[in-house]
Amino acid sequence: MQEIDLTPDCKACAALCCVLLPFDAGEAFGFDKAGGEPCRHLAGHACGIHAGLAAAGFGGCVRYDCLGAGQRVVQEVFAGKSWRDDASLLEPMDAAFRAMRRLHEDYALLISAARLPLLEGEEAERQRLLDLLNIGQKATAPGLAAFETGPLPRAVKAFIADLKARLRPRR
């Protein structure tokens, strides 16, 4: 089965992070912005200060990584549509992006866990969880909602917590 692509593709997205996520003025961002409010630097789906983000006080934008969730939400769940053309999409896109981001974060954690000295049973469980996260079909809004409220996120969290506990250096 093809692996989930964790590399962001902003050109295939609709600037979801720049509209959906909130941020506070400070070291990482130049002003306050509420979730669901398009950033004032956004022009269409592109950042108007992209070349000078850090210098303009938006290092938080440089560091942010959606892990490939944004383009999947736009292309798979909403067939390439944008909240720019239909404001009623903002709310369902927000819900789908939150769930997809969680799914991609869990997937990234399990990929990273391959670098650890796993026992045979742990590796089998890692593979089982990866397969459950990567259903190999187009994601849908109901599917993402079911994922978010279902047992899988808790199973990944418990697996990672157990690994950490076993591998923690003993004093």
The smaller minimum CB distance to ligand SF4, of residues 58 and 147, is found at 58
Q: How far is the CB of 5 from ligand SF4 (least distance, A)?
A: 21
Q: How far is the CB of 58 from ligand SF4 (least distance, A)?
A: 4
Per CB under 6 A, residues contacting ligand SF4 are 18, 39, 41-42, 47, 49, 58, 61
The smaller minimum CB distance to ligand SF4, of residues 42 and 152, is found at 42
Q: How far is the CB of 63 from ligand SF4 (least distance, A)?
A: 11
The smaller minimum CB distance to ligand SF4, of residues 19 and 156, is found at 19
The smaller minimum CB distance to ligand SF4, of residues 49 and 145, is found at 49
Helices 120-133 and 152-167 sit at what angle, rounded to 10 degrees? 150
Q: How far is the CB of 67 from ligand SF4 (least distance, A)?
A: 16
